[in-house]
């Protein structure tokens, strides 16, 4: 029984593999101009490899990414282009002639079924250089966003007709923490040496407060920190926690809450990268609702993981042999995984 419980904790602590983030995110920015409608869709390389486009992604394949309707009439792309973004992602641009009669617009993503299950595509529709007409997080089950395509005029106040579904961002937050194995391993390294309920509450509270603070500051663009710094520092935080556990020989270190808060600030910037990559808040789109609901999802996922693992950890810590040998062994694995991610994000980036 003890061996099974130990194996389960290792599984939850280290994840099923060493991939630290879910690649299942893409964006589609739609710009409504006086005479044109331009759709820019951006994919990360792993997602594009899943789609398996023909060599050089011919125009016909790019046209098949979306179906755009205005007043129920299907529009045909007049031109397509392909480019690589500064972030090394691949962007396809589809340009349509904008009908003069206006009416209701509908953009449908046609290839979401070909992407990994759970892939999300954040779509924004905005007047060129103006406010947002619509935002939505699309999935294979809900691949369509609708918007009111009215004449573009500077004196016309445009409002968002279809805000992003709050539930979708809650789910995104839950999925991000559940597939963010680096964040989970950091928490696992912190909690495995906790012998008191008070310490656990302090650690989880400090981590929540810290990452919520930097998530908000980064998403609101009050503070900007490059992912080239953030991602290695997240890995370094894992290594530090594992090493401290080894030095303490499985005993609970003093003042762990302060260390948790400090490193939690860094992890918050990592969470913010998800919303930043999705382009949340750009072009006049709503920001507070995605920010709040995404963070809520992160907290729900975090509490769910803690609720499952903590009873197992407590039971294991009642065994002196586990404290003497099991905790150091698991801490060594934490150090190894953190070091792997650090090297992957620095020397082998």
How many residues make up the chain in this entry? Answer: 349
- Sign for the CA dihedral angle at 226, 230, 232, 236 comes to positive
User: Does pLDDT of 160 surpass 70?
Assistant: no
Q: What is the mean pLDDT of residues 259-265?
A: 93
Beta carbons within 10 angstroms of residue 334's beta carbon:
25
Radius of gyration of the chain measured on its C-alpha atoms: 23
Would you call 283 helix, strand, or coil by DSSP?
helix
With a cut of 50, say whether residue 4 has pLDDT above it.
Answer: no
Q: Return the higher-pLDDT residue of 293 and 150.
A: 293
- For the chain, the domains span 2-21+180-345, 25-165
**Helix 2-14 vs helix 181-191: angle between axes, to the nearest 10 degrees?**
130
Q: Do the beta carbons of residue 89 and residue 23 sit within 8 Å?
A: no
Element (H, E) at 344: helix 327-345
Quote the pTM value: 0.68
pLDDT of residue 207: 93
Q: Is the pLDDT of residue 6 over 50?
A: no
Q: Write out pLDDT tens, residues 309-321.
A: 888 888 888 888 8
Tens digit of each residue's pLDDT (9 = 90 or more) over 220-235: 878 888 888 999 999 9
Best CATH choice for the domain 25-165 from the list 2.60.40, 2.40.50, 1.20.58, 2.60.120: 2.60.40
What span, in angstroms and rounded, lies between the C-alpha atoms of 45 and 50? 9
**Residue 156 pLDDT grade (very low, low, confident, very high; cuts 50, 70, 90):** very low
């Amino acid at each position: 029984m003890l061996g099974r419980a130990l194996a389960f904790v290792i599984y939850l602590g280290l994840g099923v593999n060493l991939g630290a983030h879910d690649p299942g995110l893409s964006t589609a920015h739609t710009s409504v101009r006086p005479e044109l409608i331009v759709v820019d869709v951006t994919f990360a390389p792993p997602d594009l490899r899943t789609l398996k486009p023909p060599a050089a992604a011919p125009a016909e394949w790019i046209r098949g990414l979306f179906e755009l309707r205005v007043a129920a009439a299907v529009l045909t792309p007049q031109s397509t282009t392909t480019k690589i973004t500064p972030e090394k992602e691949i962007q396809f641009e589809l340009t349509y002639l904008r009908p003069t009669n206006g009416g209701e617009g509908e953009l449908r993503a046609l290839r979401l079924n070909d992407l990994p299950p759970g892939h999300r595509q954040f779509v924004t529709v905005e007047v060129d250089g103006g406010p947002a007409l619509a935002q939505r997080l699309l999935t294979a089950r809900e691949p369509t966003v609708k918007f009111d395509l009215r004449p573009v005029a500077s004196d016309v106040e445009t409002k968002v007709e279809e805000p992003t579904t709050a539930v979708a961002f809650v789910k995104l937050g839950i999925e991000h923490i559940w597939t963010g194995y680096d964040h989970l391993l950091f928490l696992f390294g912190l909690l495995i040496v906790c012998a008191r309920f008070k310490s656990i509450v302090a650690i989880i509270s400090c981590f929540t407060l810290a990452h919520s603070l930097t998530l908000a500051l980064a998403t609101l663009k009050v503070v900007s920190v490059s992912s080239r710094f953030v991602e290695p520092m997240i890995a370094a935080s894992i290594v530090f926690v594992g090493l401290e556990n080894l030095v303490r020989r499985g005993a609970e270190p003093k003042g762990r809450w302060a260390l948790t808060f400090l490193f939690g600030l860094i992890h918050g910037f990592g969470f913010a990268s998800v919303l930043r990559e999705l382009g949340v808040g750009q072009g006049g789109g709503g920001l507070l609702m995605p920010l709040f609901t995404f963070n809520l999802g992160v907290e729900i996922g975090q509490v769910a993981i803690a609720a499952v693992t903590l009873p197992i950890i407590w039971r294991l810590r009642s065994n002196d042999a586990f404290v003497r040998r099991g905790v150091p062994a698991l801490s060594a694995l934490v150090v190894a995984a953190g070091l792997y991610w650090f090297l992957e994000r620095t020397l082998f980036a």
